[in-house]
Amino acid sequence: MPPRATDARRAAVLGSPIAHSLSPVLHRAAYDALGLTGWSYDRFQIDEAALPGFVEKLGPEWAGLSLTMPLKRAVIPLLDEISETAASVDAVNTVVFTEDGHRIGDNTDIPGMVAALREHGIEQVGSAAILGAGATASSALAALARICTGEVVAYVRSEARAAEMRQWGERLDVEVRTAHWDDAAQALRAPLVIATTPAGTTDALAAAVPERPATLFDVLYDPWPTGLAARWSMFGGAVVSGLDLLVHQAVLQVEQMTGRSPAPLEAMRHAGEKALAAR
Protein backbone atom coordinates (compact mmCIF):
# COMPACT_ATOMS: atom_id res chain seq x y z
CA MET A 1 0.00 0.00 0.00
CA PRO A 2 1.52 3.38 -1.00
CA PRO A 3 2.41 5.70 1.89
CA ARG A 4 0.16 8.63 2.69
CA ALA A 5 1.24 12.00 1.34
CA THR A 6 1.78 13.34 4.85
CA ASP A 7 3.92 10.42 6.05
CA ALA A 8 7.38 11.64 7.08
CA ARG A 9 9.72 9.61 4.92
CA ARG A 10 13.35 10.14 3.99
CA ALA A 11 15.55 9.27 1.03
CA ALA A 12 18.97 10.46 -0.14
CA VAL A 13 21.77 10.03 -2.63
CA LEU A 14 25.15 8.85 -1.36
CA GLY A 15 28.55 9.06 -3.04
CA SER A 16 31.94 10.68 -3.15
CA PRO A 17 32.06 13.29 -4.61
CA ILE A 18 28.38 14.16 -4.32
CA ALA A 19 28.03 17.98 -4.39
CA HIS A 20 27.37 17.96 -8.15
CA SER A 21 24.49 15.47 -7.97
CA LEU A 22 21.17 16.49 -9.54
CA SER A 23 19.31 13.67 -7.80
CA PRO A 24 17.94 15.88 -5.00
CA VAL A 25 16.51 18.28 -7.59
CA LEU A 26 14.81 15.47 -9.51
CA HIS A 27 13.41 13.57 -6.53
CA ARG A 28 12.17 16.69 -4.74
CA ALA A 29 10.41 17.77 -7.94
CA ALA A 30 8.73 14.37 -8.03
CA TYR A 31 7.61 14.65 -4.41
CA ASP A 32 6.14 18.10 -5.09
CA ALA A 33 4.27 16.87 -8.17
CA LEU A 34 2.98 13.81 -6.32
CA GLY A 35 1.88 15.84 -3.29
CA LEU A 36 4.20 13.96 -0.94
CA THR A 37 4.52 16.82 1.51
CA GLY A 38 6.09 14.72 4.23
CA TRP A 39 8.95 13.44 2.10
CA SER A 40 12.53 14.74 2.03
CA TYR A 41 15.53 13.86 -0.15
CA ASP A 42 19.10 14.82 0.76
CA ARG A 43 22.67 14.16 -0.34
CA PHE A 44 25.51 12.78 1.78
CA GLN A 45 29.23 12.63 1.06
CA ILE A 46 29.90 8.98 1.88
CA ASP A 47 32.85 6.84 0.78
CA GLU A 48 33.21 3.05 0.86
CA ALA A 49 34.66 3.01 4.37
CA ALA A 50 31.81 5.07 5.84
CA LEU A 51 28.98 3.29 4.01
CA PRO A 52 28.34 0.34 6.40
CA GLY A 53 28.08 2.58 9.45
CA PHE A 54 25.77 5.01 7.65
CA VAL A 55 23.39 2.29 6.49
CA GLU A 56 23.26 0.58 9.88
CA LYS A 57 22.11 3.79 11.59
CA LEU A 58 19.13 4.42 9.28
CA GLY A 59 15.76 4.32 11.04
CA PRO A 60 12.30 3.15 9.91
CA GLU A 61 11.53 6.56 8.38
CA TRP A 62 13.92 5.79 5.53
CA ALA A 63 12.31 4.75 2.24
CA GLY A 64 15.38 4.37 0.06
CA LEU A 65 18.79 5.40 -1.18
CA SER A 66 20.30 6.36 -4.51
CA LEU A 67 23.94 5.37 -4.92
CA THR A 68 26.60 6.79 -7.16
CA MET A 69 30.33 6.10 -7.43
CA PRO A 70 32.16 4.57 -5.66
CA LEU A 71 29.34 2.81 -3.79
CA LYS A 72 27.48 0.81 -6.44
CA ARG A 73 29.41 -2.38 -5.69
CA ALA A 74 30.38 -1.60 -2.09
CA VAL A 75 26.73 -1.60 -1.00
CA ILE A 76 25.96 -5.14 -2.22
CA PRO A 77 27.23 -7.00 0.91
CA LEU A 78 24.99 -4.78 3.05
CA LEU A 79 21.77 -5.84 1.30
CA ASP A 80 19.33 -8.69 1.86
CA GLU A 81 18.79 -9.25 -1.84
CA ILE A 82 19.43 -7.66 -5.22
CA SER A 83 17.53 -7.81 -8.49
CA GLU A 84 18.63 -9.82 -11.51
CA THR A 85 19.34 -6.54 -13.30
CA ALA A 86 21.71 -5.39 -10.57
CA ALA A 87 23.34 -8.81 -10.34
CA SER A 88 23.99 -8.84 -14.09
CA VAL A 89 26.52 -6.00 -13.72
CA ASP A 90 27.42 -6.31 -10.01
CA ALA A 91 26.17 -2.75 -9.48
CA VAL A 92 23.35 -1.34 -7.33
CA ASN A 93 22.27 2.28 -7.70
CA THR A 94 18.97 1.95 -5.82
CA VAL A 95 18.15 0.59 -2.38
CA VAL A 96 14.57 0.30 -1.16
CA PHE A 97 13.73 -0.40 2.48
CA THR A 98 10.68 -2.60 2.94
CA GLU A 99 8.19 -2.36 5.81
CA ASP A 100 9.79 -5.36 7.50
CA GLY A 101 13.23 -3.74 7.34
CA HIS A 102 14.67 -5.62 4.38
CA ARG A 103 17.15 -3.85 2.09
CA ILE A 104 16.47 -4.54 -1.58
CA GLY A 105 19.01 -3.46 -4.22
CA ASP A 106 18.27 -2.72 -7.86
CA ASN A 107 19.91 -1.06 -10.85
CA THR A 108 17.75 1.53 -12.63
CA ASP A 109 20.60 2.75 -14.86
CA ILE A 110 20.10 -0.14 -17.29
CA PRO A 111 16.32 0.18 -17.85
CA GLY A 112 16.84 3.96 -17.66
CA MET A 113 19.17 3.78 -20.66
CA VAL A 114 16.67 1.64 -22.57
CA ALA A 115 13.83 4.05 -21.73
CA ALA A 116 15.87 7.11 -22.75
CA LEU A 117 16.68 5.51 -26.11
CA ARG A 118 13.07 4.45 -26.61
CA GLU A 119 11.92 8.02 -25.97
CA HIS A 120 14.11 9.05 -28.92
CA GLY A 121 12.66 6.34 -31.17
CA ILE A 122 15.41 3.75 -30.71
CA GLU A 123 13.69 0.43 -30.04
CA GLN A 124 16.26 -1.86 -31.66
CA VAL A 125 19.61 -1.58 -33.44
CA GLY A 126 21.58 -4.04 -35.53
CA SER A 127 24.96 -2.99 -34.10
CA ALA A 128 26.46 -0.39 -31.77
CA ALA A 129 29.71 1.11 -30.52
CA ILE A 130 30.75 1.98 -26.96
CA LEU A 131 33.39 4.59 -26.18
CA GLY A 132 35.07 3.67 -22.90
CA ALA A 133 35.21 0.65 -20.62
CA GLY A 134 34.34 1.74 -17.07
CA ALA A 135 31.36 0.93 -14.87
CA THR A 136 28.98 2.90 -17.08
CA ALA A 137 30.17 0.94 -20.10
CA SER A 138 29.12 -2.34 -18.47
CA SER A 139 25.66 -0.87 -17.84
CA ALA A 140 25.56 0.24 -21.48
CA LEU A 141 26.37 -3.33 -22.53
CA ALA A 142 23.54 -4.61 -20.34
CA ALA A 143 21.16 -2.13 -21.98
CA LEU A 144 22.36 -3.17 -25.42
CA ALA A 145 21.69 -6.79 -24.50
CA ARG A 146 18.02 -5.80 -24.59
CA ILE A 147 17.97 -3.87 -27.87
CA CYS A 148 21.00 -4.77 -30.03
CA THR A 149 20.70 -7.76 -32.33
CA GLY A 150 24.31 -7.81 -33.56
CA GLU A 151 27.86 -6.86 -32.70
CA VAL A 152 28.96 -4.22 -30.19
CA VAL A 153 32.42 -2.72 -30.68
CA ALA A 154 34.04 -1.26 -27.55
CA TYR A 155 36.85 1.28 -28.03
CA VAL A 156 39.29 1.17 -25.13
CA ARG A 157 42.80 2.31 -24.20
CA SER A 158 44.34 -0.88 -22.78
CA GLU A 159 44.25 -4.62 -23.30
CA ALA A 160 43.21 -5.06 -19.67
CA ARG A 161 40.12 -2.93 -20.29
CA ALA A 162 39.49 -4.76 -23.55
CA ALA A 163 39.56 -8.09 -21.74
CA GLU A 164 37.09 -6.77 -19.16
CA MET A 165 34.65 -5.67 -21.86
CA ARG A 166 34.86 -9.04 -23.60
CA GLN A 167 34.17 -10.76 -20.28
CA TRP A 168 31.15 -8.53 -19.70
CA GLY A 169 29.96 -9.41 -23.19
CA GLU A 170 30.15 -13.14 -22.42
CA ARG A 171 28.37 -12.65 -19.12
CA LEU A 172 25.60 -10.53 -20.65
CA ASP A 173 25.34 -12.62 -23.83
CA VAL A 174 26.35 -9.71 -26.04
CA GLU A 175 28.65 -10.15 -29.04
CA VAL A 176 31.53 -7.80 -28.12
CA ARG A 177 34.56 -6.95 -30.23
CA THR A 178 37.18 -4.58 -28.86
CA ALA A 179 39.28 -1.99 -30.67
CA HIS A 180 41.94 0.46 -29.55
CA TRP A 181 40.99 4.01 -28.67
CA ASP A 182 43.28 5.30 -31.43
CA ASP A 183 40.65 4.02 -33.89
CA ALA A 184 37.69 5.51 -32.02
CA ALA A 185 36.74 7.75 -34.95
CA GLN A 186 35.48 4.59 -36.67
CA ALA A 187 32.90 4.21 -33.90
CA LEU A 188 31.06 7.30 -35.07
CA ARG A 189 29.69 5.48 -38.12
CA ALA A 190 27.75 2.97 -36.02
CA PRO A 191 23.92 3.09 -35.91
CA LEU A 192 24.19 3.82 -32.17
CA VAL A 193 27.21 5.27 -30.35
CA ILE A 194 27.26 5.28 -26.55
CA ALA A 195 29.91 7.57 -25.05
CA THR A 196 30.66 6.60 -21.45
CA THR A 197 33.92 8.51 -20.90
CA PRO A 198 34.69 11.44 -18.54
CA ALA A 199 34.29 15.07 -19.61
CA GLY A 200 36.67 16.15 -22.33
CA THR A 201 37.68 12.65 -23.41
CA THR A 202 35.71 12.61 -26.67
CA ASP A 203 36.33 16.27 -27.66
CA ALA A 204 39.04 15.28 -30.12
CA LEU A 205 36.56 13.02 -31.94
CA ALA A 206 34.21 15.87 -32.82
CA ALA A 207 36.08 16.62 -36.04
CA ALA A 208 35.49 13.02 -37.18
CA VAL A 209 31.67 13.10 -37.00
CA PRO A 210 30.39 11.78 -40.37
CA GLU A 211 28.15 13.85 -42.63
CA ARG A 212 25.08 11.80 -41.77
CA PRO A 213 25.49 10.52 -38.20
CA ALA A 214 22.88 8.23 -36.69
CA THR A 215 22.35 8.32 -32.90
CA LEU A 216 24.74 9.40 -30.14
CA PHE A 217 24.00 8.61 -26.49
CA ASP A 218 26.41 10.73 -24.44
CA VAL A 219 26.05 9.92 -20.74
CA LEU A 220 27.43 13.31 -19.62
CA TYR A 221 25.12 16.18 -18.69
CA ASP A 222 27.38 18.83 -17.16
CA PRO A 223 28.89 20.57 -19.03
CA TRP A 224 26.43 20.19 -21.89
CA PRO A 225 26.58 19.88 -24.78
CA THR A 226 29.89 18.09 -25.04
CA GLY A 227 32.00 18.94 -28.07
CA LEU A 228 31.04 15.64 -29.66
CA ALA A 229 27.31 16.10 -28.97
CA ALA A 230 27.33 19.66 -30.34
CA ARG A 231 29.02 18.58 -33.58
CA TRP A 232 26.70 15.57 -33.85
CA SER A 233 23.63 17.80 -33.60
CA MET A 234 25.11 20.25 -36.11
CA PHE A 235 25.27 17.44 -38.65
CA GLY A 236 21.66 16.44 -37.98
CA GLY A 237 22.24 13.37 -35.86
CA ALA A 238 20.00 12.35 -32.98
CA VAL A 239 21.46 12.97 -29.52
CA VAL A 240 20.41 11.36 -26.24
CA SER A 241 21.94 13.16 -23.25
CA GLY A 242 23.08 12.18 -19.80
CA LEU A 243 20.17 14.20 -18.42
CA ASP A 244 17.79 11.92 -20.33
CA LEU A 245 19.42 8.95 -18.62
CA LEU A 246 19.46 10.63 -15.21
CA VAL A 247 15.76 11.50 -15.39
CA HIS A 248 14.63 8.09 -16.60
CA GLN A 249 16.60 6.17 -13.98
CA ALA A 250 15.34 8.59 -11.29
CA VAL A 251 11.74 8.03 -12.43
CA LEU A 252 12.17 4.33 -11.70
CA GLN A 253 13.75 5.09 -8.31
CA VAL A 254 10.88 7.37 -7.32
CA GLU A 255 8.33 4.73 -8.28
CA GLN A 256 10.11 2.05 -6.25
CA MET A 257 10.72 4.20 -3.18
CA THR A 258 7.29 5.86 -3.02
CA GLY A 259 5.04 3.16 -4.44
CA ARG A 260 3.51 5.82 -6.71
CA SER A 261 3.37 5.20 -10.47
CA PRO A 262 3.84 6.74 -12.92
CA ALA A 263 6.40 9.18 -11.57
CA PRO A 264 6.14 12.72 -13.02
CA LEU A 265 8.74 12.46 -15.79
CA GLU A 266 8.21 15.90 -17.31
CA ALA A 267 8.23 17.72 -13.96
CA MET A 268 11.49 15.99 -13.09
CA ARG A 269 13.04 16.77 -16.46
CA HIS A 270 12.04 20.42 -16.24
CA ALA A 271 13.56 20.70 -12.76
CA GLY A 272 16.79 19.14 -14.01
CA GLU A 273 17.00 21.44 -17.01
CA LYS A 274 16.36 24.48 -14.82
CA ALA A 275 19.05 23.45 -12.33
CA LEU A 276 21.62 22.87 -15.09
CA ALA A 277 20.83 26.21 -16.70
CA ALA A 278 21.48 27.94 -13.38
CA ARG A 279 24.96 26.41 -13.01
Instruction: Write a three-state SS string for the chain.
Output: CCCCCCCCEEEEEEECCCCCCCHHHHHHHHHHHHCCCCEEEEEEECCCCCHHHHHHCCCCCEEEEEECCCCCCCCHHHCCEECHHHHHHCCCCEEEECCCCCEEEECCHHHHHHHHHHHCCCCCECCEEEECCCHHHHHHHHHHHHHECCCEEEEECCHHHHHHHHHHHHHHCCCEEEEEHHHHHHHHHCCEEEECCCCCCCHHHHHHCCCCCCEEEECCCCCCCCHHHHHHHHCCCEEECHHHHHHHHHHHHHHHHHCCCCCCHHHHHHHHHHHHHHC
Residue from 28, 72, 161, 231 carrying the catalytic annotation: 72
Q: Is 72 a catalytic residue?
A: yes
Cis amide linkage into residue 225, ω under 30° from 0: yes
Catalytic residue positions? 72
